[in-house]
Structure 1
């Protein structure tokens, strides 16, 4: 029995561009260009962040047997990036390597985060994209000013000292997350352990309308095949036009833009003779880049299920498997937070939401890093019908930067 999964990935950066005035999917394609040239450190960060996003995708897919999976590597990276500024020694090196930031100095990492956050915001008036970061030290706990200052400078983090003994402390943190995600991420933190001393939190919100919207009158109940023999009903949308498209004997890929075409969703539909999990396991940076380079405009019809999914997961095991196990144990060194250490990451909690319908896509995600003290009708052209498991990506089209990547094996929709 195939597990049903959606694995939506947002990784670090989206770089967007201007476009022409095409108003129909049958018209000439919109052409993107960067609003400015990337620095060398920004370009390295964009490239390495794709590696982190794909590896995190594969790690979660391998370890989580849940029907639905939905994560944001961008959110995870932001939260861990702030935490990295408090790490020292081998803990710092292992976290840096896990985040695929090997080619950058600490200064370059922080500067690249800051400049790319600046670049991401307010680039497309037709797309809402928001990032928020915060650090919540236990009230009275000694924190080095340098740690708070570096994260305020480069991550725009809010300093939110809080009495963790307050009866409403959990609600205060959850309300901040809910506000920053427009109410899409609710009740994320379940409790505060007695020895917890700090929470580092990232929240992300995305809402984009399709450049070419689906006609709701064409949406019908159709079968979605979880295996060649088994199927479930879904609400299947339909649209025809001129799309970026690629096909070989193993995959069909197409690209659906949002707003002014500065963001897009790219869908990967593996052939029926391979499983979705085998396809996910086969992904790497080279094949990923090749897929996007091979996209070309073709006329065709797309059928895609409506989706509305929530996901929540403790990411400890995935991150440990990716190489930062030292950060979760008694050997962790976060002495650049308080000056003396005795801290470790006890939980990395991740929660996400996505809705895909005829109008567009709404997605939100948040990541909490918890630190505790050690105790010590007949279409023409191609025809792509997504009625079996498939992959999709929301991406920036100029540099193929991943915003979201999803795996769908059993689409769901609720009114």
Structure 2
């Protein structure tokens, strides 16, 4: 059987949370939770499978994975095709909403325009790039769609020289993540590849309500042990809910700029992270967010920093996206040239993230 050329999908995500002194002239115009409709079934299905199998703290971005899978859907055939391949049917599950491609294109363009607009209160860098072998041409129509709706661009690299190709890719990742992730790929990891598709996200935000610089040092109760840790602590009004449905408390910590926030879910005593995760559904989480209201809260959070990396082939197959990894993968609109067109399959989906 003829072997297919390899397409490698990689994601890297970095979040940097920073303190800043209170600014009496600062006015936050929009500091309330988003309570609109979210299409997050794919997101939570993926998160639950990754967290369930991970043996360490986990950080991941379903959005970073979704945008790459949507790009593969765009490559799986014309939107008007009546006869759909299994590849296309499986990838359709990541579209928003209800498998509507036009709605998906509009939403991603709106999200990217909003997220990437320059703002003095935070730094956000999000970039998507195809690295393709020098003898392969990405089909012009597909390239236009990828750029117009998803801001994805194309660079040629010599995959026949894996060390050189890895260096080019890693330099791009390093620049995009401001040096936080300096090595996403190795020469061995991309050997045999003809296309590598990468989404990189870097976010540096300032708390709307900064924590005092010198917080207490106290005991942190981890799952299997107790450790001494530095904490951040403050009292104030925050959006909060004590959810009986989730058996947990929810807290919203906003970032300056009015677009982004961190949501913290703390299980009730006697309940575990795993217990809460089982109870989280798009509907139950949506309800809890609706119930959040401004409340006087004493917030005490351990300072933390960690990295996480995970291959996502198996979690994606577990939720029904399988054919892109097989010899039957059909991505005819992606590229042409030796080793391209219907000869491409996905060999690896990998995400590396840090906070």
Same fold (TM over 0.5): yes
Question: Contact (CA 8 Å) 2:121, 2:206: kept in 1 or not?
Answer: yes
State the distance in 1 between where 2:270 and 2:175 align: 44
Question: Contact (CA 8 Å) 1:135, 1:157: kept in 2 or not?
Answer: yes
Report which stretch shifted further, 249-258 or 116-125. 116-125
Report which stretch shifted further, 266-275 or 102-111. 102-111
Question: Contact (CA 8 Å) 1:181, 1:205: kept in 2 or not?
Answer: yes
Q: How large is the RMSD of aligned CA atoms in angstroms?
A: 2.7
Question: Contact (CA 8 Å) 2:97, 2:104: kept in 1 or not?
Answer: no
Q: Secondary structure at the match of 1:335?
A: coil
State the distance in 2 between where 1:106 and 1:145 align: 19
Q: Deviations over 1:291-328 (max 9, x none)?
A: 11111111121000111111111111111111101111
> For residue 139 of structure 2, what is the aligned residue in structure 1?
144
> For residue 177 of structure 1, what is the aligned residue in structure 2?
173
Question: Contact (CA 8 Å) 1:24, 1:212: kept in 2 or not?
Answer: no
> For residue 313 of structure 1, what is the aligned residue in structure 2?
310
> For residue 225 of structure 1, what is the aligned residue in structure 2?
221
Consecutive unaligned residues of structure 1, counting only runs of 5 or more, are 1-8, 11-21, 35-42, 355-415
> For residue 164 of structure 2, what is the aligned residue in structure 1?
168
State the distance in 2 between where 1:295 and 1:24 align: 27
1:305–1:134 distance in 2 versus 1, CA, 3 Å: same
How far off is 1:30 after superposition? 5.6
Q: Which has the higher contact order (CA 8 A, sep 6+)?
A: 2
State the distance in 2 between where 1:83 and 1:294 align: 37
> For residue 190 of structure 1, what is the aligned residue in structure 2?
186
> For residue 69 of structure 2, what is the aligned residue in structure 1?
80
1:69–1:260 distance in 2 versus 1, CA, 3 Å: same
How far off is 1:126 after superposition? 0.5
How far off is 1:133 after superposition? 1.0
What are the equivalent positions in structure 2 for 1:99-138 lying under 5 Å apart? Answer: 99-101=94-96, 103-122=98-117, 124-138=119-133
Question: Contact (CA 8 Å) 2:218, 2:231: kept in 1 or not?
Answer: yes
2:52 paired with 1:62: yes
1:141–1:294 distance in 2 versus 1, CA, 3 Å: same
1:260–1:134 distance in 2 versus 1, CA, 3 Å: closer
Q: TM-score, normalised by structure 1?
A: 0.71
Q: Secondary structure at the match of 1:279?
A: helix
1:329–1:96 distance in 2 versus 1, CA, 3 Å: same
Q: Secondary structure at the match of 1:203?
A: strand
Q: Secondary structure at the match of 1:67?
A: coil
1:165–1:248 distance in 2 versus 1, CA, 3 Å: closer
Report which stretch shifted further, 269-278 or 101-110. 101-110
1:122–1:337 distance in 2 versus 1, CA, 3 Å: closer
Question: Contact (CA 8 Å) 1:51, 1:100: kept in 2 or not?
Answer: no
Question: How many residues get paired?
Answer: 319
State the distance in 2 between where 1:62 and 1:24 align: 45
1:33–1:210 distance in 2 versus 1, CA, 3 Å: closer
State the distance in 2 between where 1:300 and 1:147 align: 50
State the distance in 2 between where 1:148 and 1:74 align: 21
1:260–1:146 distance in 2 versus 1, CA, 3 Å: closer
Consecutive unaligned residues of structure 2, counting only runs of 5 or more, are 1-11, 14-22, 78-84
State the distance in 1 between where 2:105 and 2:95 align: 14
State the distance in 2 between where 1:31 and 1:115 align: 18
How far off is 1:128 after superposition? 1.4
Instruction: Select 2:43's aligned residue among 50, 53, 57.
Output: 53
What are the equivalent positions in structure 2 for 1:355-366 lying under 5 Å apart? Answer: none
Instruction: Select 1:93's aligned residue among 89, 92, 97.
Output: 89
State the distance in 1 between where 2:200 and 2:283 align: 30
Question: Contact (CA 8 Å) 1:124, 1:262: kept in 2 or not?
Answer: no
Instruction: Select 1:338's aligned residue among 331, 335, 350.
Output: 335
How far off is 1:262 after superposition? 2.9
Question: Contact (CA 8 Å) 1:63, 1:318: kept in 2 or not?
Answer: no
State the distance in 2 between where 1:239 and 1:329 align: 52
> For residue 329 of structure 1, what is the aligned residue in structure 2?
326
1:251–1:333 distance in 2 versus 1, CA, 3 Å: same
Question: Contact (CA 8 Å) 2:28, 2:256: kept in 1 or not?
Answer: no
Large movers: runs of 4+ above 4 Å:
22-25, 28-34
2:259 paired with 1:262: yes
